[in-house]
């Protein structure tokens, strides 16, 4: 029987709705408006699209959106000065510096300059450490989106075997920490894993985040498993015409959908959740900054 398709677009819409409701309540009850600052250095076209979408969705949720677009030759010192300004700005509860940064700027230094309380990406060492030690953290948006979808799909995750394929700082490692926090038995697999097919085949939950198109075939997946595909890979699609391309995940959807119990498609799965989680993190940061109770269901 074919798997249930997990509709990330609908899920993200629902999450954005809950965010907007909470924003309206913060305004009515406390006169508070959560504010998100996004900083973009340079003119990478993909980053410009992301930043535009972030700004639009932030405003649509009723929040303050501040965008800082800086030229590609901005100095590291100037960027650090802007971050210091945003750290001190009481209207701003979340700061996101769009990555990648130009090569002359040290990304790790810039990320560490962000006040951990405003680090809505969850990239600072303080937040990485808090997540790893089970304390209240700001959690990276993409793994948070995966977790919210898994909880909605499966209810309790406790005791389940989970494999995370990929060990990046942005997705794989925080995803593994979140699943551990849910009392899963977690395996982190990567490019050097010896028997990847065997490791994937034992898992009740598969999170694929390696960035290699369709590398996980349906034949590896345990029947009935829940598959979350984080990959977004563009591949040639000659069937659509000369020079055409299409997006695929890290999982071979056509074969996996026949075996899995539930699966996220690409596009329309994890992707739409990432910005929705950024908005949720900004609301969470605003509540924490003001000593208010956090909204249910918006954080880890
Ligand atoms: N570039 C691509 N994805 C991300 C992300 O999640 N956060 C930031 N800051 N930059 C990105």
Question: Using one digit for the tens of pLDDT, what is the confidence trace for 166-179?
Answer: 999 999 999 999 99
Residue 54 predicted with pLDDT over 80:
yes
CA 177 to chain CA centroid, Å, is: 14
Q: What pLDDT does 71 receive? A: 98
Taking the model in full, what pTM does it have? 0.97
pLDDT, mean of residues 56-71: 98
Q: What pLDDT does 239 receive? A: 94
Instruction: Determine the atom of ligand 1 nearest the C-alpha atom of 170.
Output: 6
Tell me the three state secondary structure of residue 226.
strand
Dist. CA 76–CA 82, nearest whole Å: 10
pLDDT, mean of residues 279-288: 98
| Percent residues over pLDDT 70 in the chain | 100
Residue 241 predicted with pLDDT over 90:
yes
Q: What pLDDT does 109 receive? A: 98
Q: Which sequence positions are flagged as catalytic?
A: 54, 98, 121
Confidence tier at 242 by pLDDT (50, 70, 90): very high
Confidence tier at 1 by pLDDT (50, 70, 90): confident
- Regarding the beta carbon of 97 and ligand 1, being less than 6 Å apart is answered yes
Q: Is the peptide bond before 103 cis (omega within 30 degrees of 0)?
A: no
Dist. CA 229–CA 249, nearest whole Å: 6
Tell me what the pLDDT averaged over the chain comes to. 97
Among residues 215, 146, 157, 145, which one has the least CA distance to residue 186?
157
Characterize the bridge pairing of strands 233-236 and 245-248.
antiparallel
Among residues 217, 244, 247, 245, which one has the least CA distance to residue 232?
247
Domains of the chain: 30-116 (3.40.50.10860), 141-273 (3.40.50.720)
- Regarding the beta carbon of 146 and ligand 1, being less than 6 Å apart is answered no
Closest Cα to atom 11 of ligand 1: 99
Instruction: Determine the atom of ligand 1 nearest the C-alpha atom of 99.
Output: 10
Dist. CA 146–CA 76, nearest whole Å: 33
DSSP per-residue letters across 5-72: E--HHHHHHHHHHHHHHHHHHHHHHH----EEEEEEES--HHHHHHHHHHHHHHHHTT-EEEEEEE-T
- Regarding the beta carbon of 141 and ligand 1, being less than 6 Å apart is answered yes
The per-residue pLDDT for range 101-145, each reduced to its tens digit, is 999 999 999 999 999 999 999 999 999 999 999 999 999 999 999
């Amino acid at each position: 029987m074919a798997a249930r398709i997990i509709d990330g677009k609908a899920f993200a819409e629902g999450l954005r709705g809950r965010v907007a409701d909470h924003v309206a309540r913060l305004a009515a009850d406390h006169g508070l408006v959560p504010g998100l600052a996004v900083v973009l250095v340079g003119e990478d076209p993909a980053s410009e699209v992301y930043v535009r979408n972030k700004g639009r969705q932030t405003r649509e949720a009723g929040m303050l959106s501040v965008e800082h677009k800086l030229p590609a030759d901005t100095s590291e010192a100037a960027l650090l000065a802007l971050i210091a300004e945003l750290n001190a700005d009481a209207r701003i509860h979340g700061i996101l510096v769009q990555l990648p940064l130009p090569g002359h700027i040290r990304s790790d230094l810039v990320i560490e300059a962000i006040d951990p309380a405003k680090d809505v990406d969850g990239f600072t060492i303080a937040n990485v450490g808090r997540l790893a030690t089970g304390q209240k953290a700001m959690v990276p948006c993409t793994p948070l989106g995966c977790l919210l979808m898994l909880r909605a799909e499966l209810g309790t995750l406790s005791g389940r075997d989970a494999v995370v394929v990929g060990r990046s700082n942005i997705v794989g490692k925080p995803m593994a920490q979140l699943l551990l926090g849910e009392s899963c038995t977690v395996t982190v697999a990567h490019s050097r894993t010896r028997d990847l097919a065997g490791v994937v085949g034992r898992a009740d939950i598969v999170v694929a985040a390696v960035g290699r198109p369709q590398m996980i075939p349906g034949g590896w997946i345990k029947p009935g498993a829940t598959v979350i595909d984080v990959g977004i890979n563009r591949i040639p699609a000659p069937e659509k015409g000369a020079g055409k391309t299409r997006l695929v995940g890290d999982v071979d959807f056509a074969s996996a959908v026949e075996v899995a119990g539930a699966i996220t498609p690409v596009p329309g799965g994890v992707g739409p959740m990432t910005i929705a989680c950024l908005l949720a993190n900004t609301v969470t940061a605003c509540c924490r900054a003001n000593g208010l109770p956090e909204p249910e269901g918006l954080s880890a």
